[in-house]
Structure 1
Amino acid sequence: MKQIIKNIIIISLLFVAISVKAQQYNYRIMIKNYDYYMRASSGLCGDAKHIKLWITNEDNTTIQLYYKSKPATENNTLLVDRFLVKKVKSIHFSSFIHEEDSVGWCNGHTASVSDNKDLVYNNGIATGSISLYDNGGNQAIIDVEFDYEVVPVEKNYNYKVEYNIDLYNQSTTPFMNFENYTGNYILQLTTGVENKTIYNQSVFSLVSGVSIKNTKYDSIVRFKDALTASKGRMNVRFRSNSMLKCEDQVEEDFGNFSYIDATENSTIRDPGGCMPYKYLFPMCSTAEIQYFNIYRIHKDLFNIEKNKGSFVTNNPELKICEPFRVYVNDCNETSSYAVEYSTDNLNFKTLLPYARRESYFDLDYAQLEGTDIQTVKIRIKYYNSGNYTTHPYLYSEATSFTVFPCPPKLVDEPEPIRTRCSYTSDGSFKINFDRQLINEKLIISVYFKNFDSGDFEFYKQEDTLNLVDNGNGTYSYTWLGLNDGFLDPVEEYKVKYQALRDVRDSLPHTDQTWSSANESREFTVPIAKPIQFIATKLNDESCFDRRDGRIRLEITQGEEGRTYYYQIKKDEKLQVFNGTSWNEYLGSNIEETWVPFVESDSTVINKLDKGSYKIKVRDSYACYAKE
């Protein structure tokens, strides 16, 4: 069972310092200024003429860049322009020609050239040239020269392509010149420069009511340029070596493996590369699409548009008690992917196995193995083959989440605290939580209602490192009204709060996390009851200079639990009682003139002589009765 994090450990910088990323090779190789001259006629002895150009990668795999079985003199400014996912170790070129003898036998003249060039990288770039010449007695000549350049590609565009299509004939009376006809349905992605075939289905005896199934496809397609509204589109092509006529169609002869572009060619409209469209196939046949997904793979999950609202920064927060929703693409349709995670920044485990699921998943702390987890990294695997070391382009980069304990839960709603006096605007509230803070800073923001717009707007913010133990299993904070932040009884308020793990941090109200922070219901602050009292003359002074007059004071309204005081003036002169009589006050400490009530809500003023008296009453909160 996982434990709530009790210590603040800032380790993100340490992780950055020691983390080791798998090397990702994204390179562009260009063969430029290609100049090839040859002189010979075709011989009859095996591979009498050829040109071969290939490369060897660092893992010793090879890729053929160019091959021609019947070479001829040619000059190309740019012969090869390829996008690679592995680093090139060496480049190889070979060419052989044969000039047959006068009777066409194999013992004629030959020319042969070859070279193997190990690449030297300087600041990640490898450049050089190859120049070769061979003269087989002036009867067979090869003279070739070209430049090569291998440069790193900062951006590469990887697309997940996944579909399941059933092809069937919708015509009830198709006419074919042959009993069976063959053909191909082809789907291509194109940027205008690069074309990638993603569907090529051979068709045999395509009769009405019979579908061709098992056409699932799941792969990663890579482009040098993005599939955008100006470049990317889907071509649907039909190639046939037969003649076909469908209902309400004229007979069309497509010739031998010719093709047409269907009217359903579509441009990618979503800048994220999403193409969840349903494509009809041309002619009598239709594709029944079970699912069809094309979307761009973003290396940084933060760049996925749907994640930007919740990620906020590139180091989002995972709360122990609250799942975090992560989108793997900007499309809304299901697709196949796996999710891996690491809690030690080194070893990754499977969180979700490779399968078709929604375009998002909920990262739940409870699913992670381990205790007292400080950080967790996740990455998406978009194809069920290879690993991160050998095929890093199949993955997103790892996104690091800082793990936070669950913020204290609100117990009931805020308890409004009345204004101090009936005429002041200094209301407050008490808010109760289910636990004490543990090396956390609790930040509380108050919002007031704008009665014109109906929206709540930020008012004030306070924070604390400790809550008051209420003694009943709850812990509280009372709003202090700092920086003139008391509440006005004419307003409506609500409270939002968040707990920060690093007590040194702050969280200004402009931070986006407040949009989804825990919040209370609306509340108002009540007004304190105004003090009201009755002054009753009990008797006048009975005789000259006897000073035995009496007045009774009785509180008729006020806040419970408060004590009351009175102050008197005689003929507009402030009085003070010296223990035996009332006399004019000549001091400077006015507080000396306030006399407490004898009873909680009543008192009798004694020792009064003849005169006109004014009486003030206040309570222990310095609230005054209205005169």
Structure 2
Amino acid sequence: MRVAMFYCFLCSIVFNINAQSELYVLKKEILIDPENCPIDKVSLLVSHQQGKYDISERDVKVYIDFTQIIDERDGNDCSGNCGGTLFDECPNTEVDKILNHFDRIDVLYTGSNPIYCVAPCLPLSYYAVLLPKINVPNGKICEREAIFARYSDGLNHNVNGLVWEYYSNSGWKEIPNHKNRYPLNVSLLDVFGTSWQSQFSGNLQLRFKFTAPFTNDVIYSLNNYTISLTTCSPEFSAINPIKTKCNYSDDGSFKLKLKRSLDTNENLVMTLYYEYDTGYDLAANPQESTFNLFNESDGTYSYTWVGDLPAGNYKLKYQTKLGNGGIVSSDPTWATLSEHLFTIGKAKKVAYFAEKINDESCYAVKDGKIRLYNVSSEGNRTFSYIVYEVQGTNTLTVLKNWTSFSGNNVVVDQLKRTKLRVKLKDDQGCFAKGI
């Protein structure tokens, strides 16, 4: 004779405001035919019923145990030992597993529906997945930036049955691409394309849902996520520093290159931060702005800083301001801020050496010669020199006016016997001090 026993267990949901994990469960229990198998002959113990759970730890234990007790003792309504035995036809725990982030349990029941007394030992379909909590971005993001940061292990994770939804102009709608991606570490452009602004109003509202092939039930995310948005300033391409013209001058500059032009009424605003040299006082945080960029031949668009800048280390911050206003932010006119470091160098010093080749051979013959050699400067500049006769302490008379030459040495001839002074400059007007 078979005598049945039935055990029922309910699991409570515990919420924790400091939860590190979220557990999502979808479940379908298979019906038991009461005529062929009275309901009190089996029990099913499940640690987590269908639902969503805040978990305060990074892992959780999930177990499923199906019990079917068989009584093979003799006699009816035996109240004592009638010589038989009790045994469980399903003695093992079907699922007993510690889930870490992105681990899952995926069971699909394949037996008869409804089932009868001698049933398989897992009479249900069950899907559970443990996910880390998502961190909503601090501040605003723009259309090129990832909506959520990639998980800390640096990998992309796919989660079966997960579908993202956004709140559109007509209510919640599925995001057609990037299903199963968790977190949604792609940009607005990746999700919606360049028409993203027409898909919803205001900031982006997101949630996700879970589905499973064995049930029509849907479980939504514990939280809805609101992502604050702004538009992107033009994407940075490069900064090309421009050296000071002379080693001692403060007339450097730079060219900022961006990956797109400016839209109508879009104003590019740039602010400089200078690492001060001793004794130099640059106006605090100079700014320049423009509505127009130069179209370069390499597919970029550029702006060249107008004001003179000393050599040194700089930080440039730039962002665009929309003349017709933005669409989503609390300060709607400003797009994202971009920061970049660069260095303006000094031009190479103009330098040279001078030597006497020969004195004047006779009075008033003017056949004296000197040589200027190892002449150097920035790049491939050319040079010129002037020769003075020094009379007394302060009087200079020009003996040879500015004379151009190229290369790194030149012979200066037709000089008389006297005290001479030579000045040398390059074709940018940068002077050197001779010997």
Q: 1:183 aligns with which of 25, 42, 45?
A: 42
Once residues 425 and 252 of structure 1 are traced to their aligned partners in structure 2, the CA distance between those partners, rounded to angstroms, is 101
Deviation, 1:442, is 6.2
Deviation, 1:334, is 0.6
Name 1:326's counterpart in structure 2: 148
Contact 2:372 2:411 in 1 (8 A): yes
Once residues 265 and 564 of structure 1 are traced to their aligned partners in structure 2, the CA distance between those partners, rounded to angstroms, is 86
Contact 2:105 2:126 in 1 (8 A): no
Deviation, 1:293, is 0.7
Contact 2:423 2:432 in 1 (8 A): yes
Q: Percent identity?
A: 12
Once residues 334 and 195 of structure 2 are traced to their aligned partners in structure 1, the CA distance between those partners, rounded to angstroms, is 27
Alignment of 1:316 with 2:141, yes or no, is yes
User: 2:302 is aligned with what amino acid?
Assistant: S
The superposition leaves residues 368-392 of structure 1 with CA deviations (integer Å, 9 ceiling, x where unpaired) of 584866955131232569xxxxx99
Once residues 289 and 332 of structure 1 are traced to their aligned partners in structure 2, the CA distance between those partners, rounded to angstroms, is 24
Once residues 361 and 209 of structure 2 are traced to their aligned partners in structure 1, the CA distance between those partners, rounded to angstroms, is 101
For structure 2, which runs of at least 5 residues remain unmatched after alignment? 1-11, 31-36, 73-83, 108-119, 213-218, 276-284, 324-332
Q: 2:384 aligns with which of 561, 564, 567?
A: 564
Q: 1:531 aligns with which of 351, 356, 364?
A: 351
Deviation, 1:350, is 2.7
Deviation, 1:356, is 5.6
Deviation, 1:358, is 2.5
The superposition leaves residues 109-155 of structure 1 with CA deviations (integer Å, 9 ceiling, x where unpaired) of xxxxxxxxxxxxxxxxxxxxxxxxxxxxxxxxxxxxxxxxxxxx996
Q: 2:24 aligns with which of 161, 166, 172?
A: 161
Name 1:365's counterpart in structure 2: 189
User: 1:365 is aligned with what amino acid?
Assistant: L
User: 1:570 is aligned with what amino acid?
Assistant: V
Name 1:465's counterpart in structure 2: 289
Q: Using structure 1 for the length normalisation, give the TM-score.
A: 0.40
Name 1:613's counterpart in structure 2: 420
Name 2:268's counterpart in structure 1: 441
SS of the residue corresponding to residue 229 of structure 2 reads strand
For structure 1, which runs of at least 5 residues remain unmatched after alignment? 1-81, 84-152, 168-177, 190-196, 199-219, 245-250, 299-303, 386-390, 449-460, 488-492, 583-594
The superposition leaves residues 189-222 of structure 1 with CA deviations (integer Å, 9 ceiling, x where unpaired) of 3xxxxxxx24xxxxxxxxxxxxxxxxxxxxx435
Where is the strand percentage greater, Structure 1 or Structure 2? 1
The superposition leaves residues 316-341 of structure 1 with CA deviations (integer Å, 9 ceiling, x where unpaired) of 2223xxx6353699994514343344
Name 2:396's counterpart in structure 1: 576
Using a 3 Å threshold, how does the CA distance of structure 1 residues 359 and 263 change in structure 2: closer, same or farther?
closer
Residues 133-144 of structure 1 mapped to structure 2, 5 A cutoff = none
Name 1:540's counterpart in structure 2: 360
User: 1:597 is aligned with what amino acid?
Assistant: W
Residues 100-249 of structure 1 mapped to structure 2, 5 A cutoff = 159=22, 161-162=24-25, 183-189=42-48, 197-198=49-50, 220-221=51-52, 226-229=54-57, 233-242=61-70
Residues 165-564 of structure 1 mapped to structure 2, 5 A cutoff = 183-189=42-48, 197-198=49-50, 220-221=51-52, 226-229=54-57, 233-242=61-70, 253=86, 264=96, 266=98, 274=101, 276=103, 292-295=128-131, 304-305=134-135, 311-313=137-139, 315-319=140-144, 324-326=146-148, 332-341=157-166, 346-348=169-171, 350-353=173-176, 357-361=180-184, 362-365=186-189, 367=192, 370=195, 376-383=203-210, 396-404=224-232, 406-407=234-235, 409-410=237-238, 415=240, 417=242, 420=245, 430-433=255-258, 435-438=260-263, 439-441=266-268, 464-466=288-290, 469=294, 472=297, 475-478=301-304, 486=312, 499-501=319-321, 528=348, 530-532=350-352, 534=354, 540=360, 543=363, 556-559=375-378, 560-561=380-381, 563-564=383-384
Using a 3 Å threshold, how does the CA distance of structure 1 residues 474 and 526 change in structure 2: closer, same or farther?
same
Deviation, 1:479, is 6.8
Cα root mean square deviation, aligned: 6.2
Q: Using structure 2 for the length normalisation, give the TM-score.
A: 0.53
Deviation, 1:235, is 4.3
User: 2:312 is aligned with what amino acid?
Assistant: F
SS of the residue corresponding to residue 324 of structure 1 reads coil
Using a 3 Å threshold, how does the CA distance of structure 1 residues 475 and 262 change in structure 2: closer, same or farther?
closer
